[in-house]
Structures are given as C-alpha cells and as structure tokens.
Structure 1
C-alpha cells in the first residue's frame, strides 16, 4: 500500500510540474516580440494648439475653431451672439 501511495504522489507531482511548465511557455509565447508601434506623428511636430471660444469659454483645437474679427469661436451661432461680458 505504501508503494502505491508513493507512485500516486510522484505522478501527481510530475503532472503538476508539467502543467506549470506549459503555462509558462504559453505566457512567454503570448508576449509580443516587439513593443507596439507608435501612432504616426502629426504634421507640425506635435499636439495641436487649443483656443478658447470668446462666447462660452470652451476650449477646442485651432483647426476646428472659427476665426472672426480677431477672436475665436466654437460655432457661427456664438460668433453672431458676440463675446460674453464676465
């Protein structure tokens, strides 16, 4: 009975070690070989400048802003209403 228990423990230990080795191999294969590619650089060399709407104060990229009379606006409606007095 002692020998049978000994062999059962040995078999369980071998299976346990094999399972751990398989998990480590799978984790090693799942890692990317190289870092993910960086997004392409924007023209102009960096982040776009942000401007503030003269009416509501919201900040938006300069390319999306409306420029009239030397001021920036977020929409034509706010450009018609004019700047707020705060």
Structure 2
C-alpha cells in the first residue's frame, strides 16, 4: 500500500511540474511575440487602440462595439435582420 501511494504522489508531482513548465513556456513565447508585434519598422512602439463604447441591440440585447453596430431611426442594431424585425420584447 505504501509503494502504491508513493507512485501516485510521484505521478501527480511530475504532472504538476510539467503543467507549470508548459505555462511558463507559453507565457515566454507570447511575451516574445508581443514584443515583436509592438515595434514597427520605424522603431517606435505602437500606441494601444483607444477604448470604444459598447451599444446594445434593440432587438436581441447583445452588446457590441459602436463601430460594428447598425444605427437606424435612433436605435442600434447588431445587423440588418434585427433592424428589419424591429425592437424585441423584453
């Protein structure tokens, strides 16, 4: 019974260490890619995208960025189909 418990604990420990190592490698790789992407050819870092306000579809209630919304008759819609259907019942 003692040997079985030892092997179970050892396997769990090895899996835990492997999981941590995988996460560290993924974080290191994504950090390297982000560093490359932020420096354009001019050498100056890119400015972050400005925050955009979210609006709600008058039919289904989904929230979407204002730039992707359809504005008709003073209401916002997620697409032309919902604009055609009109306001939803809530």
TM-score, structure 2 as length reference:
0.48
- TM-score w.r.t. structure 1 length? 0.50
